[in-house]
Structure 1
Amino acid sequence: MINDERIIETLDELDAFLLTAESGVLGLQNVAGVALATHNGSGRRFVAILDDQNQLLLGRWVSEDVFKNGQDLVRNGSKRSR
């Protein structure tokens, strides 16, 4: 669910969000994947943390630049040490 109006504006912010989600700090259960997506109703872009049923566990809005340039980061994960 996206109920946080903050927007991830940079690739560094996206990287930090992905590392936080991956580390377990967010307390999400059954995490199976991450995707960049478009909200059907509004057309806004977001990063989605998905469970093993492809259901949205957590989402954060992203800027258009992050959506366009963050595909590899979401696909391949962070290059930073974990």
Structure 2
Amino acid sequence: MNIENDVIDNLAELERFLLSVEKGGLGLEGVAGVGMATSNADGRHFVAVFGDNHKLLLGRWITAEIFESGQEMVKNGVKSKH
């Protein structure tokens, strides 16, 4: 898996990550969606950027609190602040 070791531990950081994905700031190609998942290996939660055929392009570890409180943000997207 391509998961960065930095752990997202607050909603502001999750929002920044999601906006970076939405705006193409991470240099990822073929982004099809974003979701939250749990590693089968160790049970840790992560936010995942998926490409075609549900291929994991990039992931970031998240705390259990962010896994619970950030689900709506991931599901509905982030509204840019003007």
TM-score, normalised to structure 1, is 0.93
SS of 1:31's equivalent?
coil
Q: Which position in structure 1 is the counterpart of 2:51? A: 51
Partner amino acid, structure 1, of 2:40: N
Q: Which position in structure 2 is the counterpart of 1:13? A: 13
- 2: distance between equivalents of 1:32 and 1:53? 9
Deviation for aligned residue 1:25: 1.1
Matched pairs, number: 81
- 1: distance between equivalents of 2:70 and 2:42? 20
Partner amino acid, structure 2, of 1:45: H
Partner amino acid, structure 2, of 1:30: G
Deviation for aligned residue 1:52: 1.9
What's the RMSD between the two structures over aligned residues? 1.1
- 1: distance between equivalents of 2:77 and 2:28? 18
Partner amino acid, structure 1, of 2:76: N
Percent of residue pairs identical: 48
Query: 5+ unaligned residues in a row in structure 2: which ranges?
Result: none
Deviation for aligned residue 1:79: 2.5
Structure-to-structure mapping, 1:64-75, within 5 angstroms: 64-75=64-75
SS of 2:42's equivalent?
coil
Deviation for aligned residue 1:5: 1.4
The ranges of structure 1 where at least 4 consecutive aligned residues each deviate by more than 3 angstroms after the TM superposition are: none
Structure-to-structure mapping, 1:7-46, within 5 angstroms: 7-46=7-46
TM-score, normalised to structure 2, is 0.93
